[in-house]
């Protein structure tokens, strides 16, 4: 395969001037779904390059335990609130923030991007899943351009494979690269590949590959609104997920409580001073 050589160095990933709020130690973008779609479409047209992480309570707990993930979130263009509890806490702290779930953003951006000929690359999922996802999206959104689909091996790539992946994706000229590898693997992938890929945005959407493709069910709307989507997933996959949610949810509550006590203490010191 012939390597693609750029005439000029690629710019660093951009961090848009989107307001943020600290939750459990991580920087969360105070943005809603419509604003995220508009921002991403603008990035595709103006040459901006973004990394987009869809954060849940589990993501933020992992970030406190994994320095690589924490660094990936700190240097990302957008860390949106995928989990409803993050929205609640952000609003309590005065942020104008809405839920930006990968399951909702994918069809919204795919639909809105058709008018400007946006190109999409699907990277992730078990063998066959990205192909089914591409087919479902084309059926739902006529005229959609899928530039490529790929189900990578379930192991780290060696240097030659990594370089081939970069060249393959860049050769497809996507505006958006959707990455479904699961947290935190997909978030670390974004941090590792962002400087090498020309796409406007890399988006770590995880389970969206299976749910949007129809190969896995999504929680009922009332559970989504109540912040119980995690519970629906736990009911479907108790053996795989019970430990994650039992530990992560308790840990998240403790992190937020500690953070809030710190905020109150600093406020009292300012008042006394």
Full DSSP string of 21-78: EEETTEEEE---HHHHHHHHHHHHHHT--EEEEEE-HHHHHHHHH-HHHHHHHHT-SE
57-65 and 238-272 helices cross at what angle (nearest 10)?
A: 80
Q: What are the distances in angstroms from CA 269 to CA 23, 258, 263, 272? A: 21, 17, 10, 5
> How far is Cα of residue 52 from the mean position of the Cα atoms in its chain?
5
pLDDT at residue 43, rounded to an integer: 94
Which region, left, alpha or beta, applies to residue 115 given φ > 0 means left and ψ of -120 to 50 means alpha?
alpha
Contact between residue 95 and residue 125 where contact means Cβ atoms under 8 Å apart: no
d(CA 105, CA 129): 19
pLDDT at residue 10, rounded to an integer: 44
> How far is Cα of residue 2 from the mean position of the Cα atoms in its chain?
31
pLDDT at residue 273, rounded to an integer: 62
What residues in the chain have per-residue pLDDT under 70? 1-16, 271-273
d(CA 206, CA 179): 7
Q: What are the distances in angstroms from CA 232 to CA 224, 226, 241? A: 9, 11, 11
d(CA 120, CA 138): 11
- How many Cα atoms are found within 13 Å in the side-chain-facing hemisphere of 6? 12
- pTM here? 0.86
Cα angle, residue 227 at apex, residues 224 and 232 outer, rounded to 5°: 65
pLDDT at residue 206, rounded to an integer: 85
Contact between residue 217 and residue 236 where contact means Cβ atoms under 8 Å apart: yes
Which region, left, alpha or beta, applies to residue 220 given φ > 0 means left and ψ of -120 to 50 means alpha?
beta
């Amino acid at each position: 395969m012939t390597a693609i050589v750029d005439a000029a160095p690629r710019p660093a990933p951009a961090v848009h001037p989107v307001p943020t709020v600290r939750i459990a130690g991580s920087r969360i973008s105070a943005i809603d779904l419509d604003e995220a779609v508009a921002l991403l479409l603008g990035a595709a047209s103006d040459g901006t390059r973004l990394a987009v992480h869809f954060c849940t309570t589990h993501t933020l707990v992992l970030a406190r335990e994994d320095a690589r993930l924490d660094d990936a979130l700190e240097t990302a263009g957008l860390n949106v609130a995928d989990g409803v509890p993050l929205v609640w806490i952000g609003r309590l702290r005065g942020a104008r923030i809405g839920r930006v779930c990968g399951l909702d953003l994918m069809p919204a951006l795919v639909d809105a991007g058709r008018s400007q000929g946006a190109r999409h690359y699907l990277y992730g999922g078990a063998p066959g899943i990205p192909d089914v996802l591409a087919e479902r999206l084309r059926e739902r959104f006529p005229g959609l351009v899928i530039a490529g689909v790929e189900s990578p091996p379930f192991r780290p790539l060696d240097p030659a494979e990594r370089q081939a992946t970069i060249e393959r994706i860049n050769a497809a000229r996507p505006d958006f690269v959707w990455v479904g590898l699961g947290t935190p693997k997909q978030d670390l992938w974004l941090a590792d590949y962002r400087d090498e890929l020309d796409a406007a945005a890399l988006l770590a959407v995880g389970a969206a590959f299976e749910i949007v493709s129809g190969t896995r069910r999504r929680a009922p709307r009332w559970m989504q609104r109540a912040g119980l989507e995690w519970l629906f997933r736990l009911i479907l996959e108790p053996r795989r997920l019970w430990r994650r949610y039992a530990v992560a949810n308790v840990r998240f509550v403790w992190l937020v409580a500690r953070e809030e006590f710190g905020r109150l203490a600093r406020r009292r010191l300012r008042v006394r001073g």
